[in-house]
Amino acid sequence: MLQGDPLSGILFNMVIDQVMRQIPDYLGFQLDENTLVNSMGFADDLNAITSTREGMRCLLQILDKLCPKWGLKFNAAKCRYLCMEADGRNKKMKVSTDCMFVINGSTIELVGVCGQWKYLGVYFSNNGIEPPKQMLNVWLGRLKAASLKPQQKFFILRNYRIPRLLYPLKMSPLSVTALNRLDGAIRKALTGTTGMLHLPSSTPKSFFYASVADGGLGVLCLRYSVPSMIVGRFEKLSTSNSSVVQAAIKEAAFAHRIGVARKFVLKVVGQDILAGAIRSYHRELLDSFIDTKGLVEAGKCPSVHTWVSDGTKMMTGENYCEALKIRVNALPSLSRTQRGMTSDRSCRAGCKAPETNCYVLQNCHKTHDIRVERHDRVHKRLSAFLSQRGETVNDNMTFVTMEGWRKPDVVFTTNEGTAHVVDVQIVGEYKDLDTLHKM
Query: Where does this chain bind Zn ion (CB under 5 A)?
Result: 347, 349, 351, 364
DSSP reduced 3-state for 194: coil
Based on CB atoms, which residue is closest to Zn ion, 349 or 426? 349
E-only strand ranges, 88-226: 92-96, 102-103, 106-107, 109-110, 117-119, 122-125, 128-129
User: What is the distance between the alpha carbons of residues 427 and 410, in angstroms, rounded to a whole number?
Assistant: 18
Write b or e for each residue in 276-287: b if 16 or more Cβ atoms lie within 10 A of its Cβ, otherwise e.
eebbebbbebbe
Min separation Cβ 214 and Zn ion, Å: 31
Based on CB atoms, which residue is closest to Zn ion, 169 or 360? 360
Write b or e for each residue in 189-214: b if 16 or more Cβ atoms lie within 10 A of its Cβ, otherwise e.
bbbeeebbbbbbeebbbbbbbbbbbb
Based on CB atoms, which residue is closest to Zn ion, 62 or 351? 351
CB-CB contact of 247 with 191 (8 Å): no
Min separation Cβ 424 and Zn ion, Å: 23
Angle, CA 427 vertex, CA 425 and CA 430 arms, to 5°: 150
Taking the CA atoms of the chain, what radius of gyration do you get in angstroms?
Answer: 31
Min separation Cβ 430 and Zn ion, Å: 16
Min separation Cβ 347 and Zn ion, Å: 3
CB-CB contact of 186 with 146 (8 Å): no
User: What is the distance between the alpha carbons of residues 247 and 234, in angstroms, rounded to a whole number?
Assistant: 14
- The letter for the amino acid at 194 is T
Based on CB atoms, which residue is closest to Zn ion, 369 or 434? 369
Min separation Cβ 356 and Zn ion, Å: 10
CB-CB contact of 84 with 126 (8 Å): yes
Based on CB atoms, which residue is closest to Zn ion, 91 or 352? 352
Based on CB atoms, which residue is closest to Zn ion, 267 or 348? 348
Please spell the DSSP secondary structure of 93-112, one letter per residue. EEEE-----EETTEEPEEP-
Min separation Cβ 343 and Zn ion, Å: 17
User: What is the distance between the alpha carbons of residues 53 and 309, in angstroms, rounded to a whole number?
Assistant: 53
CB-CB contact of 422 with 412 (8 Å): yes
Residues with Cβ within 8 Å of 302's Cβ and at least 6 positions away in sequence, in order, are 212, 213, 214
Angle, CA 236 vertex, CA 230 and CA 238 arms, to 5°: 115
Based on CB atoms, which residue is closest to Zn ion, 99 or 351? 351
- Partnered with residue 30 across adjacent β-strands are 36
Based on CB atoms, which residue is closest to Zn ion, 298 or 360? 360
Min separation Cβ 333 and Zn ion, Å: 10
DSSP category for residue 67: G
- Partnered with residue 401 across adjacent β-strands are 404
Min separation Cβ 354 and Zn ion, Å: 10
Min separation Cβ 183 and Zn ion, Å: 39
CA 367, 371, 372, 373 torsion-angle sign: positive
Min separation Cβ 370 and Zn ion, Å: 13
Based on CB atoms, which residue is closest to Zn ion, 73 or 348? 348
Min separation Cβ 369 and Zn ion, Å: 13
| Cα distance between the two ends of the chain | 73
Based on CB atoms, which residue is closest to Zn ion, 278 or 361? 361
Based on CB atoms, which residue is closest to Zn ion, 238 or 346? 346
